[in-house]
């Protein structure tokens, strides 16, 4: 219990440091923008609001865990304070997330995010002009992206790993954009889409960035890749389950959200393979139907359960988590850091939002 | 004459080096994307096509001129070859331009760019879905932006100037995004909009990046800022004149383009101050009217001339160029590089597209 408490304390301190860094960085940027023109300040405020409103900071925790897993000094103390070199990179990844969410919400016509209006929705309302609102939201995303790179440039990589660290960030960005493209095009390979769109910058990329900050050996980098790959897919499978079966108050998404959006989730892919006749037709009719009735959504949700699709996705999730767990057990990592990774694994397995 | 020839030869070699770097970089990225999935390769191809299709590479030349202006070795030879450290940064700025153009064309509903379809127009047609086409275009812009940062990371700044160089790139990006925001909002201060939207990454930013590559002194950086600021504004004033009075075959924009778009150009700002009664009403009626008739456009174009608005903008342009010229004459720069800057100034003054 006391070890679990220590890990929880560490996690909370990591999150507090990242939030403090984001708050001070964004307020400095806001001041600089205001000095150009108050209009620019508004744009910074829009992205700062979304950034600070949210999040589990799972990526920040993953970066810290990756760092601790390779850095052979007193771990799980959490008391790094100013000496924690992961904070800037974590803030960069959180702003990358802001940029991706702003674009994603516009592309998916999502009006809500993190318990408030999405950025394009808020700006469209403010200017009573959807195209102008969307354009300004894209500019807010641009600023978030530029800020992410500024924070990356400030990152305290060991000098001989700095180029590798920046390349890892760029590769992560490349993969997530390609994953988003596949998602928009309803690419049939759902696992590849997940791997690129979510896995890249949720688990794999952050673990690698953390490991590079800690000057990881090639064996350690490989081990973290072996842990991160299934863990990233597990994260997305959990997301798919939550998007259909999750508690809407916890997820912050309306009921039947993923079905209404017509998302090609793992659940839908399994259901398509298993449902036939009338039930399959009903699924296809409701999928992507923004004005589907609660009764229709309930019927389809039931069929995702009764067909065994839900059970199969849950089995996939368990298999991915077991693969990650095995990779973790075999990995040449520092014990304290490995404990943080195991805790991260549990958070991903059990999260309800 | 032989000095002018030497300068022209240098400029051509700079452009050839940047084009070669862009071609090889983008083809490597294309191969990497294809390895993920051919769909991703298509996205890279879309932005590569726009990048290679165009451009005067004015920004690349400005970077080189900034570098040569502070770097005290055999200048205006152009024979740097592989030793030219400006090529990576120039390619980065050209890809920043690609990213901005893709977004700009979507925001302005421009179907054409550089003598071909704009990226969102091409993708909207390919998928017969304007929203999907726009979303994919934004992703293509995202990739271009990520590539720009990758090239920036490869840049050969003197080690003790690298952080400054990356900060200059980030500042340039910040300003241009804020400028685009002001443009979308029809901000009344046209000069500020120009300064931020165009001046930042067309002249000021490139000169600074080049100067940092050449390890400029504080006095030289200040001098280049004094040259770049009026030169950037002159560039945009020339753009405004070309957008209304230019030869449509040379500019690649349809006649009356800026008027149809309702752009708040310097010409329009002057005309608003000078026209009254019927003529002013006619201007406001036609401005932003996408289906304005050729006769209406001609009438308004004539009033921009007869009111004296054109003459006043031309006078502003001359004044900005003179300010740049004076700053150049007084600047503590290397003669060969100063000659390149003078040539750049002439290109901006006289360009017809």
- Give the distance from CA A124 to its chain's centroid: 25
Cα atoms in the 13 Å half-sphere on the side-chain side of B181: 27
**Residue B23: predicted pLDDT:** 97
For helices B58-70 and B2-36, give the axis angle rounded to 10 degrees: 120
- pLDDT tens for each residue of B70-101: 987 654 455 566 688 999 999 999 999 999 99
Query: Which residue, B281, B266, B275, is CA-closest to B303?
Result: B275
Q: Is the pTM of this model over 0.95?
A: no
List B117's β-bridge partners, or say none: B112
Check residue B332 and give its pLDDT.
95
**What is the C-alpha to C-alpha distance for residues A293 and B222, in angstroms, rounded to an integer?**
64
Tell the residue number behind the tokens 């191809």, with chain if given.
B45
Helical segments of B154-217, H only: 162-184, 190-194, 205-213
Q: Which residues of A104-236 form beta strands (DSSP E)?
A: 112-113, 116-117
Answer whether B340's CB lies under 8 Å from B15's CB. no
Give the pLDDT score at A73: 66
A320 touches A237 (CB < 8 A): yes
Distance CA A79, CA A64 (A): 12
Measured between alpha carbons, how far is B209 from B213 in angstroms, rounded to an integer? 6
Contact criterion met (CB < 8 Å) for B36 and A138: no
| Tally of CA atoms within 13 A in the half-sphere of B64 that contains its CB | 35
Chain B residues at the A interface, defined by Cβ less than 8 Å, are 29, 32-33, 36-37, 39-40, 43, 103, 106-107, 131-132, 135-136, 138-139, 142-143, 145-146, 149-150, 153, 163, 166-167, 170, 173-175, 177-178, 180-182, 184-185, 187, 189, 192, 196
Stretches in chain A below the pLDDT threshold 50 = 75-76
Distance (Å, whole) CA B224 – CA B352: 25
Q: What is the pLDDT of residue B75?
A: 45
CA-nearest of B29, B80, B26 to B52 is B26
Top residue of A92, A136, A138, A288 to mutate, by most chain B CBs within 10 Å, is A138
Residues of A with CB under 8 A from a CB of B: 29, 32-33, 36-37, 39-40, 43, 103, 106-107, 131-132, 135-136, 138-139, 142-143, 145-146, 149-150, 153, 163, 166-167, 170, 173-175, 177-178, 180-182, 184-185, 187, 189, 192, 196
One digit per residue, the tens of pLDDT, for chain B of length 353 reads 578 888 888 889 999 999 999 999 999 999 999 999 999 999 999 999 999 997 789 999 999 999 999 987 654 455 566 688 999 999 999 999 999 999 999 999 999 888 899 999 999 999 999 999 999 999 999 999 999 999 999 999 999 999 999 999 999 999 999 999 999 998 888 889 988 988 899 999 999 999 999 999 999 999 999 999 999 989 989 988 988 888 776 666 666 788 888 888 889 989 988 888 888 898 899 998 888 888 988 888 999 999 999 999 999 999 999 999 999 999 999 998 999 999 999 888 777 76
Q: What is the distance between the alpha carbons of residues A215 and A154, in angstroms, rounded to a whole number?
A: 17
Q: Among partner residues B107, B131, B146, which is closest to A174 by beta-carbon distance?
A: B146
Cα B20–chain centre separation: 20
DSSP, res B256 = T
Q: Give the CA dihedral B247, B251, B252, B256, nearest 10 degrees.
A: -60
User: What is the pLDDT at residue A76?
Assistant: 43
Q: What is the pLDDT of residues B181-222, one digit of tens each?
A: 999 998 888 889 988 988 899 999 999 999 999 999 999 999
Q: What is residue B148's predicted lDDT score, i.e. its pLDDT? A: 98
Q: Among candidates B65, B51, B55, which has minimal Cα distance to B22? A: B51
The tokens for B88 are 């990576």
């Amino acid at each position: 219990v006391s070890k679990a408490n220590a890990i929880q304390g560490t996690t909370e301190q990591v999150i507090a440091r990242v939030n403090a860094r984001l708050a001070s960085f964004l307020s400095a940027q806001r001041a600089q923008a205001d000095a150009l023109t108050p209009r620019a300040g508004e744009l910074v405020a829009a992205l700062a609001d979304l950034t600070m409103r949210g999040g589990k900071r799972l990526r920040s925790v993953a970066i810290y865990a990756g760092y601790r897993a390779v850095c052979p000094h007193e771990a799980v103390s959490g008391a790094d304070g100013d000496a924690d070199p992961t904070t800037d990179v974590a803030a960069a990844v959180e702003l990358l997330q802001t940029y991706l969410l702003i674009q994603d919400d516009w592309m998916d016509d999502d009006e809500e995010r993190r318990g408030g209006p999405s950025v394009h929705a808020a700006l469209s309302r403010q200017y009573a002009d959807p195209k102008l609102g969307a354009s300004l939201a894209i500019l807010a995303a641009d600023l978030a992206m530029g800020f992410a790179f500024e924070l990356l440039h400030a990152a305290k990589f060991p000098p001989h790993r700095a180029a590798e660290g920046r390349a890892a960030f760029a590769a992560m960005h490349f993969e997530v954009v390609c994953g988003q493209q596949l998602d928009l095009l309803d690419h049939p390979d759902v696992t590849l889409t997940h791997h690129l769109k979510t896995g890249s910058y949720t688990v794999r990329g952050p673990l690698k960035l953390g490991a590079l900050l800690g000057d990881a050996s090639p064996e350690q980098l490989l081990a973290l890749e072996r842990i991160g790959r299934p863990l990233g897919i597990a994260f997305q499978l959990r997301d798919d389950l939550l998007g259909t079966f999750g508690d809407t108050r916890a997820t912050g998404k309306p009921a039947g959200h993923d079905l209404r959006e017509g998302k090609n989730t793992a659940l839908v892919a399994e259901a398509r393979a298993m449902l036939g006749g009338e039930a399959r037709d009903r699924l296809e009719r409701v999928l992507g139907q923004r004005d589907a009735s609660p009764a229709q959504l309930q019927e389809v949700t039931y069929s995702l359960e009764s067909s065994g699709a839900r059970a199969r996705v849950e089995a996939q999730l368990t298999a991915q988590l077991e693969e990650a767990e095995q990779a973790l057990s075999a990995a040449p990592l520092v014990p304290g850091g490995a404990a943080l990774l195991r805790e991260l694994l549990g958070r991903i397995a059990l999260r309800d939002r």
